[in-house]
């Protein structure tokens, strides 16, 4: 007999549990009683909370231990002091007329409060660089009027101002003189390279230098005489 089968005559909740008769309680009630184990149901959320607290505490302790900044005795005190400054103060060192006299990137923006939080509003006194787009750099008479001036540039009338649109449109002939018969540059396949021993390929004009003429030897018959 298999161990999975219930011995004959034993009470089982229903006929799905194997051979046997229903329990006396089910026979008395006329239906299968629905049991509710309170301890099992309440223990599930309690275990979830307990394991969450343990996991959070363990993770926090590990991060606090491994991410702790240890003082290096070789660090320079002045360098350590500069690095301890807030992120806003360090970014304000970059800018035109600042300690690092270079334009600051658009993404480096100082913010009020905790600067590492992106939703924080920008610091009004941070001199944040404006966002520039390609169309903002396009020259036009309104934005860059100095590029569209006309007239003489000096008192002797030797230099004149030519508007940019006239130059780009090719309306000023002779402004950039070129040769009447320019030489065409070599194409890529005709360039002398290391792969073709510096001679180019196909119709290359590279001519190797000629060797000096060697003296002619007399015929063998005359040499025997």
| Vertex 73: Cα angle to 68 and 78 (nearest 5) | 95
Cβ neighbour number for residue 98 with a 10 Å cutoff? 13
Phi and psi based region of residue 188 (left: phi greater than 0; alpha: psi -120 to 50; beta: remaining) = alpha
3-state helix, strand, coil in the chain (%, to 5): 35, 5, 65
Assigned domain for 44 exists:
no
For 44, the token pair is 């599930």
Mean pLDDT is lowest, of 121-125, 139-143, 182-186, for 182-186
Of 32-46, 87-101, 110-124, 198-212, the least confident: 198-212
Instruction: Classify residue 95: in a domain, yes or no.
Output: no
Q: Which residue has the higher pLDDT, 158 or 19?
A: 158
Domain that holds residue 145: 138-168
State the maximum Cα–Cα separation within the chain, in Å, rounded to a whole number: 147
CB within 8 Å of 163: residues ≥ 6 apart: 147, 148, 149, 150
Note whether 153 and 159 are within 8 A (CB). Answer: yes
Average pLDDT (164-179) is: 80
CB 73 within 8 A of CB 85: no
pLDDT tier, 219 (very low <50, low <70, confident <90, very high otherwise):
low
Confidence of residue 1 (pLDDT cuts 50, 70, 90): very low
Contacts of 165 (CB under 8 A, 6+ apart): 148
Give domain status of residue 112, yes or no: no
Q: Is residue 5 part of a domain?
A: yes
Mean local confidence (pLDDT), 193-213: 64
Please tell me the predicted confidence (pLDDT) of residue 54.
Answer: 97
- CA 3 – CA 8 distance, rounded (Å): 12
Q: Is the pLDDT of residue 2 over 50?
A: no
Is it the case that residue 207 has pLDDT exceeding 90? no
78 occurs within a structural domain: no
Give mean pLDDT, residues 194-218. Answer: 64
What token pair was written down for 29? 């009630």
| Domain assignment of residue 19, yes or no | yes
Burial class (CB in 10 A: 0-12, 13-18, 19+), 104: buried
- Alpha-carbon distance 103 to 91, whole Å? 11
Asked, for residue 183, whether it belongs to a domain, the answer is: no
Structurally, the chain folds into a number of domains equal to 2
Over range 146-157, report the average pLDDT: 87
CA 200 remoteness from chain centre: 41
Does residue 13 surpass a pLDDT of 60?
no
Count the Cβ atoms, other than its own, within 10 Å of residue 111.
19
Q: 130-144, 145-159, 170-184: which has the minimum mean pLDDT?
A: 170-184
Q: Which of 72-76, 142-146, 175-179 has the highest mean pLDDT?
A: 142-146
8 within some domain? yes
- Containing 161, the helix (H) or strand (E) segment is strand 160-161
How confident is the model over 79-118, as pLDDT tens digits?
888 888 888 888 888 888 889 988 888 888 888 876 666 6
């Amino acid at each position: 007999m298999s161990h999975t089968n219930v011995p004959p005559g034993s009470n089982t909740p229903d006929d799905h549990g194997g051979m046997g008769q229903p329990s006396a309680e089910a026979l008395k009630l006329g239906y299968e009683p629905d049991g509710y184990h309170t301890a099992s149901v309440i223990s599930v959320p309690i275990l979830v909370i307990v394991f969450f607290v343990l996991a959070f505490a363990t993770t926090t302790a590990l991060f606090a231990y491994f991410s702790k900044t240890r003082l290096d005795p070789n660090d320079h005190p002045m360098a350590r002091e500069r690095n301890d400054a807030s992120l806003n103060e360090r970014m304000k060192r970059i800018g035109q007329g600042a300690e690092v006299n270079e334009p600051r990137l658009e993404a480096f923006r100082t913010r009020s409060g905790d600067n590492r939080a992106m939703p924080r509003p920008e610091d009004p006194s941070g001199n944040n660089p404006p966002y520039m787009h390609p169309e903002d750099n396009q020259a036009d008479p309104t934005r860059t009027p100095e590029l569209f001036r006309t007239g003489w540039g000096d008192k002797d009338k030797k230099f004149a101002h030519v508007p940019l649109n006239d130059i780009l449109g090719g309306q000023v002939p002779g402004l950039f003189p070129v040769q009447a018969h320019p030489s065409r540059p070599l194409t890529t396949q005709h360039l002398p390279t290391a792969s073709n021993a510096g001679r180019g390929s196909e119709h290359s004009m590279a001519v190797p230098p000629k060797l000096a003429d060697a003296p002619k030897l007399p015929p063998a018959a005359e040499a025997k005489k």
